[in-house]
Amino acid sequence: MEKQITAGEARLISALAHCRIPAGTADRRFVDVVSEAVAADGGFKLTSGQRAYIGRLAYRYRHQLPPELVESRSKQSTDTGETSPRIGPAVLEDEVPS
């Protein structure tokens, strides 16, 4: 099921677009395609798999992201009530951009 991209996810994609991600990789292609789509269409929708991939990219390139976009996910609970020890984006709030 697709849901509209949140403001936090849009900020994270924008920040990932400026990271040094190797050219020709799936990571670079995904970030380029999604960042262009978000810039062109404010109502862009993401699947749950795409949301998870953004989280993995945020973890993978966390040292290149601004500190305010990354925080420990150990404080955040998942839908199952489990906590994850991984570092992830702090800005993936549920608000939808205006």
Higher pLDDT, 41 or 92: 41
Distance between CA 25 and CA 28 in Å, rounded? 5
Distance between CA 81 and CA 78 in Å, rounded? 5
Mean of all residue pLDDT scores within the chain: 79
Banded pLDDT at 69 (limits 50, 70, 90): confident
Q: Judge whether 29 lies within some domain.
A: yes
Q: Judge whether 38 lies within some domain.
A: yes
pLDDT at 78: 43
Residue range 12-26, pLDDT digits in tens: 999 999 999 999 999
Q: Judge whether 24 lies within some domain.
A: yes
Q: Residue 15 belongs to what domain range?
A: 3-89
Q: Judge whether 97 lies within some domain.
A: no
pLDDT at 92: 54
Structural domains in the chain (count): 1
Mean pLDDT confidence for 68-76: 55
Q: Could you say which DSSP state residue 1 is in?
A: -
Q: Could you say which DSSP state residue 69 is in?
A: G
The pTM for the full model equals 0.71
pLDDT at 67: 86
